[in-house]
Chain A
């Protein structure tokens, strides 16, 4: 009897203990652990961490973690509040009122207010500041601070892309007001409001950040962030193989071949989704041959984009039909790529007057042979290979193509800016707002401007203006869908492909969510279960 009693008590206690343990386990299971460090590898080094001066990708990555804008794009590529809780656009589109989040602190403890926004704006339009982003803010008539947490931006005319331009990282007034932004020490020791605080920058080696425990969206789970600078891609891959780098992006060949091993499948997770950019062949539309729409359409029929994607990207990309992000609302999914059809291509060229009269395999018109040069920049194998495939494809319809590869800076200043090309292969990185005024409007064809192909279409001109003046997304959608249609029909560019982004991440990181915006959007929610954490010292 006594024994039994003891047993009974034991059972009860054991049950209690088990229940307690169960609860703990559930809690652990559902609330991610803090700690560990993520090591990202990059071939580039940031130039400056003053966000309004930073124009390179590396600086942008770090600034994005240290600072916030008033607005940001969410996982589904819609504009959402960041430092601004919400905003209102006046009916005439001339005023945007931002209501800021209260209680946000700079990393040094000072309160963030609308004065910081005002300061950032004033720096952006200051002619003495070397910012490349002044363009978007030229449309602003004035900025009025209403109180510490409300401000009103007045525009000279309605300017809907202006809204997303307030995604510009906001800088602390109290630290920079008396500094010369071009040469301030802040550029290597920034203080922001973001999820990570700057810790150290060892030139040529790494930038290190630590998590901001007071971040307004909650403390990030990963405690430390290291940005390692490894300029050689082969070395970067070896570092990944040795698990000394956790996060980087792969080339198609690394994705398809080198990481298709048991080792990489066990220790890493890979992702692929469309990147925010596309590659195209741009024609010089002032060239007599490319002036003819039929010639451009013939080339579109004759170049097999699927073949390029298979050959150059090993299938990791998709055919592009227009200048918008495929997953965004501006992209017109009804514009379908035309089929690959050599016969149609030949017929169109014939119609345009190009015939092979001396049967040497190359077409002629008025005594001139159809021969042109594609120029692209050095150091980009994908573009070079694309040029080679186009060269081969066009040979089949009697067009002779030569390829010239030129170092980037010389390429831009001597060939693009001066319009000294027949055709070029280039890519555009896309911002999330679909405004393309600078690329397609007929007024943007002067030296150094971005409509370097010389495209002129009055309907597109009007639509571009309309798109800028409209805030309603449904209305804007119609505008950009129409632009998309016209551009595909008129072929000022031979739209080629949208390459996939190919990030690779160590398997111990959890909580990654793939969305149209990629995987970085919920970075602060990524975590490593305690038992798998690697850097615990």
Chain B
């Protein structure tokens, strides 16, 4: 097992290096330069001034030199300084992660709490009206554009009825609140984003759960269990569910990078200062160090998530042995 993990990690490191080369090349070869936006076409900003800024960013050096310099810093876990506001990239990313992580975690928990029971019950009552109704329900969540649903909910719950705040993560007077007021205030702000994002994610988990459960229910050992005269509840939850949950583990492993990836659309709509927005803004302003930072962290997490899924698979499934 230890040997396996070591081998995998070595392989992943090489893969990561390849990923950085390709990403670096792609984002630098894309048209546009960071100094374009900085100037915003202000006639008071002369070309000489723009060139000077490009030089101070090191953008006048050949691309491979720029990459090697980036790699040297990266080896020391230094992602460099953002072009936009001259703050360390790491700091910019770290201050964005907590809020994205909070929302994504809550939403994943909600998805699991609702999606898995839906999947199981749909599988058990396969083909029934309930099954069909649930299919429609989860796919509605999947198909409805997030921004549209969010805006409708914000308009009614926020602007018209005033039940929930419209956007942001805290009230303006937050610092003057007491402890419980703060918790209530934050939950109110997070309610809509978490609900909307969970609604969109239900389809995936519940459908996986349903098909995996259906698969298991057709197995011989389930027939055996029923033939033994076990109660249906025991058959379903002790024999079938345990096995049906295995693929879900893989999916959870693969969703790790999503936890900090965030979503541009919805972080923008709800004015949440999360990772999705940071990434989008950095792309639009060609803030290369930040783009690289976010992408590399995303790549690392994806690779680790994969590894984690494989290892945990071995842990829960006795048929699989890692060599």
9 smallest CB-CB distances across A and B, nearest first, come from A204-B273, A409-B32, A135-B46, A410-B31, A132-B45, A448-B47, A241-B159, A412-B36, A231-B268
Specify which chain B residues have a CB less than 8 angstroms from the CB of A442 in the assembled complex.
Answer: none
Interface string of B143-179 (1 = CB under 8 A from A): 0000100010011001100100111111011001000
Q: Which residues of B contact A136 (CB under 8 A)?
A: 44
Task: Indicate if the CB atoms of A408 and B37 lie closer than 8 Å.
Answer: yes
Q: Does A229 contact B (CB under 8 A)?
A: yes
Task: Tell whether, in the assembled complex, residue A205 and residue B271 are in contact, meaning their CB atoms are under 8 Å apart.
Answer: yes
Interchain CA distance A412-B95 in the complex, whole Å:
32
A413 contacts B33, C-beta separation under 8 Å: yes
Which of the residues B32, B49, B84, B154 comes within 8 Å of A132, measured between beta carbons? Answer: B49
- Is the Cβ of A132 less than 8 Å from the Cβ of B38? yes
Assuming the A-B contacts A204-B96, A242-B162, are A135 and B49 also in contact, with contact meaning beta carbons closer than 8 angstroms in the complex?
Answer: yes
Q: Residues of A contacting B86 with CB < 8 Å?
A: 48, 182-183, 187
Is A438 a contact partner of B43 (Cβ separation < 8 A)? yes
User: Do A234 and B172 touch across chains, with their CB atoms under 8 A apart?
Assistant: no
Q: In the complex, what residues of B have CB within 8 A of residue A30's CB?
A: none
Interface: B288 (CB within 8 A):
no
A238 touches B172 (CB 8 A): no
Does A230 count as interface, using CB distance less than 8 angstroms?
Answer: yes
Give me 5 A-to-B residue pairs in the complex whose CB atoms sit less than 8 angstroms apart, sorted by A's number.
A47-B85, A55-B45, A228-B172, A407-B32, A450-B41
Instruction: Identify the interface centre among A187, A188, A431, A438: most chain B CB within 10 Å of its CB.
Output: A438
Give every chain B residue within 8 A of A183 (Cβ-Cβ): 81, 86-87
Is A135 touching B44 in the complex (CB atoms < 8 A)? yes
Contact assessment for B42 and A132 in the assembled complex, using a CB-CB cutoff below 8 Å? yes
Q: Does A428 contact B (CB under 8 A)?
A: yes
Report chain B residues within 8 Å CB of A449: 47
Do B52 and A134 touch across chains, with their CB atoms under 8 A apart? Answer: yes
Nearest Cβ distance between residue B92 and chain A, in whole angstroms?
Answer: 8
Question: Would A135 and B48 be within 8 Å (CB), given that A128-B56, A410-B31 are in contact?
Answer: yes
B residues near A, CB below 8 A?
Answer: 30-33, 36-53, 56-57, 81, 84-87, 92, 95-96, 147, 151, 154-155, 158-159, 162, 165-170, 172-173, 176, 268-274, 277-278, 281, 284-286
From B41, B44, B172, B286, A426 is in contact (CB under 8 Å) with B41
Give A132 to B48 CA distance when docked, in angstroms.
Answer: 9
Asked if A537 contacts B96 (CB within 8 A), the reply is no
Is A410 a contact partner of B45 (Cβ separation < 8 A)?
no
Min distance, Cβ B91 to any Cβ of chain A, angstroms: 10
Number of interface residues of A (CB under 8 A): 60
> Are A235 and B166 within 8 A (Cβ)?
yes
When the two chains form their complex, are residues A235 and B43 in contact, meaning their CB atoms are under 8 A apart? no
Task: Name the B residues within 8 Å of A134 (CB-CB).
Answer: 46, 48-49, 52
**CA–CA, A447 and B47, complex, Å:** 9
Q: A188 contacts which chain B residues (CB < 8 A)?
A: 85, 87
Residue A203 interfacial (CB < 8 Å):
yes
Q: Are B41 and A244 in contact (CB under 8 A)?
A: no
- On chain B, the residues within 8 Å of A182 by CB distance are 56, 86
With A127-B52, A205-B168, A413-B31 known to touch, is A231 a contact of B85 (CB < 8 Å)? Answer: no
Across the interface, do A438 and B172 meet the contact criterion of CB distance under 8 Å? no
Asked if A238 and B273 sit within 8 Å, CB to CB, the answer is: no
| Residue in chain A with minimal CB distance to B56 | A130
Q: Does A226 reach chain B (CB closer than 8 Å)?
A: yes
Give bound CA distance, A37 to B84, whole Å: 29
A43 closest partner in B (C-beta):
B268
Task: Flag if A232 contacts B271 (CB, 8 Å).
Answer: yes
Does chain B have a CB within 8 A of A189?
no
Residue of A nearest to B266 (CB): A232
A449 to B269, CA, bound (A): 37
> Which A residues touch B48, using CB under 8 A?
134-135, 138
Known contacts A204-B96, A231-B271: A436-B167 contact under CB 8 Å? no
- Taken together as a complex, chains A and B put the C-alpha atoms of A413 and B33 apart, in Å, by 7
A205 touches B38 (CB 8 A): no
A216 lies within 8 A of chain B by Cβ: no
Q: Which residues of B contact A413 (CB under 8 A)?
A: 31-33, 36
Q: Is the CB of B286 within 8 A of A409?
A: yes
Query: CA of A45 to CA of B278 in the docked complex: distance in angstroms?
Result: 11
Of all chain B residues, which has the CB nearest A435?
B43
Given contacts A242-B159, A410-B31, A412-B36, 15 further A-B contacts (CB under 8 A): A55-B40, A127-B52, A132-B38, A132-B39, A182-B86, A187-B85, A228-B271, A232-B271, A408-B36, A409-B284, A412-B32, A428-B43, A429-B42, A438-B46, A448-B51
Q: For the complex, what is the distance from the CA of A239 to the CA of B159, rounded to whole Å? A: 7
Say yes or no: B43 contacts A231, CB within 8 Å.
no
* Chain A 22-59 residues near chain B, CB threshold 8 A: 37, 39, 45, 47-48, 55-56
Q: Mark A130-148, 1 if CB is under 8 A from B, else 0.
A: 1111111010000000000
Given contacts A238-B159, A242-B158, A409-B33, contact A204 B277 (CB under 8 A): yes
Q: Which of A180-236 contact B (CB under 8 A)?
A: 182-183, 187-188, 202-206, 226, 228-232, 234-235
* Residue picked from B44, B95, B172, B173, most chain A C-beta under 10 Å: B44
Q: How far is the CA of A138 from the CA of B272 in the complex (A)?
A: 42
Closest residue on chain B to residue A415 by CB atoms: B31
- In the complex, the answer to whether A409 meets B40 with C-beta atoms within 8 Å is no
Give the distance in Å from the alpha carbon of A47 to the alpha carbon of B165 in the complex: 27
A242, A414, A426, A537: the one contacting B31 at CB < 8 Å is A414
A288 contacts partner chain B, Cβ-Cβ < 8 Å: no
- Asked if A446 lies at the interface with its beta carbon under 8 angstroms from chain B, I say yes
CB distance A135 to B45 under 8 Å? yes
Interface string of A434-464 (1 = CB under 8 A from B): 0010110000001111100000000000000
Contact B38 A55 (CB under 8 A): yes
Chain A hits for B281, CB < 8 A:
45
Instruction: Output the nearest chain B residue to A164 by Cβ-Cβ distance.
Output: B44
Cα distance, A436 to B268, chains bound together (Å): 37
Q: Per a CB cutoff under 8 Å, which of A127, A130, A135, A238 touches B166? A: A238
- The chain B residue with its CB closest to the CB of A444 is B47
Q: Knowing A239-B166, A409-B31 touch, does A450 contact B43 (C-beta < 8 A)?
A: yes
| A426–B47 CA distance with the chains assembled, in angstroms | 19
Chain B residues with Cβ below 8 Å from A414 are: 31-32
Kindly list chain A residues whose C-beta atoms are within 8 Å of the C-beta of B43: 428, 431, 436, 438-439, 450
**Residues on the B chain within 8 Å of A205, using CB:** 168-170, 271, 273
Complex CA–CA separation, A412 to B271 (angstroms): 29
Q: CB < 8 Å: which of A235, A410, A428, A439 contacts B271?
A: A235
For A135, the chain B residues whose CB sits under 8 A away are 44-46, 48-49
Asked whether, in the complex, the Cβ of B40 is within 8 Å of the Cβ of A56, the reply is: yes
Residues from chain A with Cβ under 8 Å of B170 in the complex: 205
A494 to B55, CA, bound (A): 36
Chain B residues contacting A131 (CB-CB under 8 Å) are 49
The answer to whether B32 touches A410, judged by C-beta atoms less than 8 angstroms apart, is: yes
What residues of B have a CB within 8 angstroms of the CB of A231 in the complex?
Answer: 268, 271, 277
A185 CB to closest chain B CB (Å) equals 9
Q: How far is the CB of A189 from chain B (nearest CB, A)?
A: 12
Q: Per-residue 0/1 for A390-430: is the Cβ within 8 Å of any B Cβ (1 yes, 0 no)?
A: 00000000000000000111101110000000000010110
Q: Are B39 and A55 in contact (CB under 8 A)?
A: yes
The answer to whether A238 touches B42 (Cβ under 8 A) is: no
Q: How far is the CA of A203 from the CA of B270 in the complex (A)?
A: 15
CA of A234 to CA of B270, assembled, Å: 10
B262 to chain A, nearest CB (A): 11
Q: In the bound complex, what is the Cα–Cα distance between A446 and B257 (angstroms)? A: 46
Contacts of B50 in A (CB 8 A): 132, 448
CB distance from A42 to the nearest CB of B (A): 11
Q: Which residues of A contact B33 (CB under 8 A)?
A: 409, 413
What's the nearest-Cβ distance from chain A to residue B103, in Å?
13
B169 partner residues in chain A, CB cutoff 8 A: 205
With CB as the reference atom, state the residue of chain A lying closest to B270: A235
The chain A residue sitting closest to B286, CB to CB, is A409
